[in-house]
Amino acid sequence: MAVITETDFRNEARAFLGDNAERRVEQKFMWGEGSDRVGLLEEKTPEEEAVEVAAGKKWKAKEFDAGFGWITGPEEFGGRALTRDYERAYREEALAFSIPSQGAFVIGLGMVAPTILAHGIPEVKDKYLRALYRGDIVACQLFSEPAAGSDLAGIQTRAVRDGDEWIVSGQKVWTSGAQFSDIGEIITRTSPDKPKHKGLTMFVVDMKAPGVEVRPLRQMTGGASFNEVFFEEVRIPDTHRLGDVDEGWGVALTTLMNERAAIGGGGSSGAGDYNFTRFKEMARHFGVADDPVVRQRLAAIYINSHVARATAMRAMAKVRAGQAPGPEMSIGKLSLTKNMQLMAQTAGEILGPRLAADTGEWGTFAWAEMVLGVPGGRVAGGTDEIMRNIVGERVLGLPKEPSAPK
């Protein structure tokens, strides 16, 4: 495609958005009005979810066909091969418009697609990248297992070669979006006799293939945003292998660094900003806005959210410069979970028993969903303990964490 100035690009983006989306109307928060939900995850019924995914796919197709679906991507796969400055410009323009939720695509575009681009063969790139960015298909990440926890190298799902195919059997857990995904990025053990990190291989798996079973996992929030996925002799063609046999650990690191970029970069500031106005109004409503302890808590939430944003921006600048996401993403993820914990603690201190008893009073028991969701946030994308190890070893230069005795 021809080179375009950022000014012309912004004008093109405004025209597309203006023709296809409604301008966002800023609504001022008023205590007691509208929904009082403050959960960390949007817990939806399967019917609500299906409607949202369909609307998101329709928007992604429009966006892609207009040249805004993969602004930085290679032209051969439908991208525009522009710099990240253009992508940033488009996101800034899009903020002024109300567009369908894009939550279903976060994992596929933020984690799976970059891994396919980096490690897939041309056939696989051609088959999936355009479809992912256009919203024709959705992808999930199949890493965690019940017995492995945060020890990714300890996974036990087996892949055994059978000619030009691999037969995969095992179980994955905490898989977001598996219920509506078309493909998944799965890490398997292909050489049990090798050291843990040396016998892993990554694949793209068809989530509709015979032998794949998705079961929802009910959380203590009441929702079922995650799933456990069972693989019973599922056949995957060798063409769908990402990287070399037994070299899946390096491929997994590509995904993990992009995952922390998506979580630490995208969410570290959002959690604080999302609820800060509600916190202030809650404090006023219950007469504790002048309490020095409460004021200190609110100040800490505000400051932490903005420091986290600055950390995320610094990390994103590194990515824009062509460097791989690094341990800064772990710092951003830790900032997010620390602030979530502080928010939960503050809500409990202001509300007291109102947090645990559903009396029907607006803006009280609704916070329980957020509080119950915090522990999950500390696990998703790598536990706090793993993040601290990464920061300690790679940023502070501390000795490596001792291995557990065998």
Per the structure block, which two tokens stand in for 198? 């040396």
What residue has token string 């609500």?
48
Q: Domain range for residue 158? A: 139-251
Co-location of 291 and 238 in the same domain:
no
Residue 58 sits in the same domain as residue 89 = yes
121 part of a folded domain: no
For residues 148 and 240, state if they share a domain.
yes
Q: 389 and 281, same structural domain? A: yes
> Which pTM does this prediction carry?
0.84
- Which of 251, 280, 307 is the endpoint of a domain? 251
Do 282 and 343 belong to one domain?
yes
pLDDT of residue 270: 38
Rounded distance, CA 104 to CA 382, Å?
Answer: 20
CATH number at residue 360: 1.20.140.10
Same domain, yes or no: 239 and 273: no
Whether residues 194 and 226 share a domain: the answer is yes
On whether both 306 and 338 belong to a single domain, the answer is yes
Q: Is there a domain that residue 120 lies in? A: no
Largest CA distance in the chain: 71
* 258 is a domain residue: no
Q: Distance between CA atoms of 99 and 231, rounded to whole angstroms?
A: 36
**Is residue 108 a part of any domain in this protein?**
no
- Domain end call among 251, 285, 310: 251
Co-location of 155 and 244 in the same domain: yes
What are the pLDDT tens digits along the chain (406 aa)? 567 999 999 999 999 999 999 999 877 888 998 889 888 777 788 899 999 999 999 999 999 999 999 999 999 999 999 998 999 999 999 999 999 999 999 999 999 999 999 999 999 999 999 999 999 999 999 999 988 766 777 899 999 999 999 999 999 998 999 999 999 999 999 999 998 889 999 999 999 999 999 999 888 888 887 899 999 999 999 999 999 999 999 999 888 777 655 554 444 333 445 468 888 899 999 999 999 999 999 999 988 888 877 877 777 677 666 666 667 777 878 888 888 899 999 999 999 999 999 999 999 999 999 999 888 888 777 788 888 888 888 888 899 877 665 5
Asked if residue 1 is part of any domain, the answer here is: no
> Could you tell me if residue 381 is inside a domain?
yes
Query: Is 92 buried (19+), middle (13-18) or exposed (0-12) by CB count in 10 A?
Result: exposed
Residue written as tokens 């500031």? 269
- Please give the pLDDT value at position 266: 44
Give me the residue label for tokens 């928060």.
Answer: 29
Please count the structural domains in the chain.
Answer: 3
Looking at the DSSP bridge assignments, the partners of residue 202 are 187, 242
Three-state SS string over the chain comes to CCCCCHHHHHHHHHHHHHHHCEECCCCCCCCCCCCCCCCCCCCCCHHHHHHHHHHHHHHHHHHHHCCCCCCCCCHHHCCCCCCHHHHHHHHHHHCCEECCCCHHHHHHHHHHHHHHHHHCCHHHHHHHHHHHHHCCCCEEEECCCCCCCCCHHHCCCEEEEECCEEEEEEEECCCCCHHHCCEEEEEEECCCCCCHHHCEEEEEEECCCCCEEEEEECCCCCCCCEEEEEEEEEEEEHHHEECCCCEHHHHHHHHHHHHHHHHHHHHCCHHHHHHHHHHHHHHHHCCCCCCHHHHHHHHHHHHHHHHHHHHHHHHHHHHHCCCCCCCHHHHHHHHHHHHHHHHHHHHHHHHHHHHCCCCCCCCCCCHHHHHHHHHHHCCCCCCHHHHHHHHHHHHCCCCCCCCCCC
Which residues does 377 contact at the CB level (< 8 Å), separation at least 6? 40, 336, 337, 340
Rounded CA-CA distance 127/107 in Å is: 18
Query: Which among 218, 251, 284 is the end of a domain?
Result: 251
Give the domain CATH number at 188: 2.40.110.10
Residues 273 and 388 in one domain: yes
pLDDT of residue 147: 83
- Rounded alpha-carbon distances, angstroms, from residue 170 to 164, 183, 191, 340: 20, 17, 15, 33
Cα separation, 131 vs 122, whole angstroms: 14
pLDDT computed for residue 262 by the predictor: 56
Round to the nearest angstrom and report the end-to-end CA distance of the chain.
Answer: 57
Q: Same structural domain for residues 286 and 388?
A: yes
Task: Check whether residue 184 and residue 74 sit in a common domain.
Answer: no
Q: Is residue 14 part of a domain?
A: yes
Please name which of 277, 239, 233 lies closest in space to residue 119, comparing C-alpha atoms. Answer: 239
User: 149 in a domain, yes or no?
Assistant: yes
